[in-house]
Chain A
């Protein structure tokens, strides 16, 4: 990747990220898509970095899916978000950390709306007071969870057990990064590195020894996009977006795809399976697909966490080829063992996507 010009852009787009005392809010969909990711984030922050992170069980969805699906009006969304801020205020925190990119984009949108239209903020405060009796302070610092991992990437390196290096060839692992659209496309100044060449994931890959691969459709949407996915008949558009990205990245032979949004890893992972079943077309080496990771999973991998503890067995595209390349040990027999050794059952083998035999 030619990064000379990008470095200049990255210098211009720096954001303030709080050091400690985080009010962390989970994503509504990530907990079922990639349940190990958020747990790994908390484990890294609390156990590795010794940070104070608070979670409130009364936190709800930000309404992002319904809002972007044209089901909820903006006033409702703003009031729900105001309630989340009220929970943060009640808990005595000021640094708001959403796990979800859609939420992060929506919080940025709401705060920007209130900044430009204080009368709307006042109206929403009235709505919240009438509905719940709550009041709130706006967060002093709003950062996405991937910003936090980015901020502490060097600390993670100092504790890392593995580098992103292919142990067979000695070459850096080749990673394509995919940033969620709502991270910085709407508000470039809110993302590390801006909208055109966000640095938040590229910085992680570089720091941990991997190679960032540029490819033509790098900034194309993964295909989630809410409306084109929510209705089944529209999903052809969603899967076409993902296929466009796969076709574009395939010639560069990436070892993995790194993402920071709830929808992106899900769609880039599951659509590889769907395309293989619909057209017989597979990507990656030997028809095994290209493993798709979340930033927490990658951080957990370099820190040497058990791959099954961080939820890599939930992926549709097997991650074992990547683990083998880096040299991360895993026990195949325990892949589908749940908590306390409970057998989760083995999924049926895909028709076209090759089942990995280590």
Chain B
């Protein structure tokens, strides 16, 4: 391989046909309120763990829906399951169950 002094930039297009959306489908099946999340970020703003680590539930939900949640396993480990996000959510999304469902999905879908 030749080094020309530059690389080929990664494509930033969100390709729903190619991306792996198994995780999103699994969560929707087991926690229907996943569908009504509007990604407002209230959960992330109130997150205690997020104050000390890079835990961003809003980002995780967006990436899962796109099928681009490549680092989901290491991200989800930072959650303490305190449930503050669920109390703050203006849409009534069962965020705690979403986290638990993601954990189950990671085991079952081999993420």
Interface residues of A (CB under 8 A from B): 232-237, 239-240, 243-244, 274-275, 277-280, 351
Contacts and interface: CB of A to CB of B under 8 A. Distances in A.
Nearest to A231: B6
A237 B8 CA distance: 7
Contacts of A235: 4-6
Contacts, number: 39
B8 A277 contact: no
B11 A240 contact: yes
B5 to A, nearest CB: 5
In the A-B complex, the 7 residue pairs with the smallest Cβ-Cβ separation, listed nearest first, are A240-B9, A236-B9, A235-B6, A277-B2, A236-B7, A236-B6, A237-B9
A279 B6 contact: no
B1 A234 contact: no
A277 B1 CA distance: 5
B91 to A, nearest CB: 35
21 contacts: A232-B5, A233-B5, A235-B4, A235-B5, A235-B6, A236-B6, A236-B8, A237-B9, A239-B6, A240-B9, A240-B10, A243-B8, A274-B4, A275-B8, A277-B1, A277-B4, A278-B1, A278-B2, A278-B7, A279-B1, A280-B1
Interface string B8-49: 111101000000000000000000000000000000000000
A243 B9 CA distance: 10
Q: Size class of B's contact patch? A: 10 to 19
Contacts of A274: 4
Contacts of A236: 6-9
Q: Is the interface of A mostly helix, strand, loop or mixed?
A: helix
A118 B9 CA distance: 44
A239 B8 contact: yes
B6 A234 contact: yes
Indicate the member of B1, B9, B10 with the most A CB atoms within 10 Å: B9
B8 to A, nearest CB: 5
Contact of B8 (A232, A234, A279, A351): A279
A278 B9 contact: no
A235 B8 CA distance: 8
Nearest to A271: B8
B8 A240 contact: yes
A278 B11 contact: no
Contacts of B9: 236-237, 239-240
Given A277-B2, A277-B4, 9 more contacts: A232-B6, A233-B6, A235-B4, A239-B6, A239-B9, A240-B10, A243-B8, A244-B11, A278-B2
B8 A278 contact: yes
Which of A233, A235, A275, A280 has the most chain B CB within a 10 Å cutoff?
Answer: A235
Contacts of A234: 6
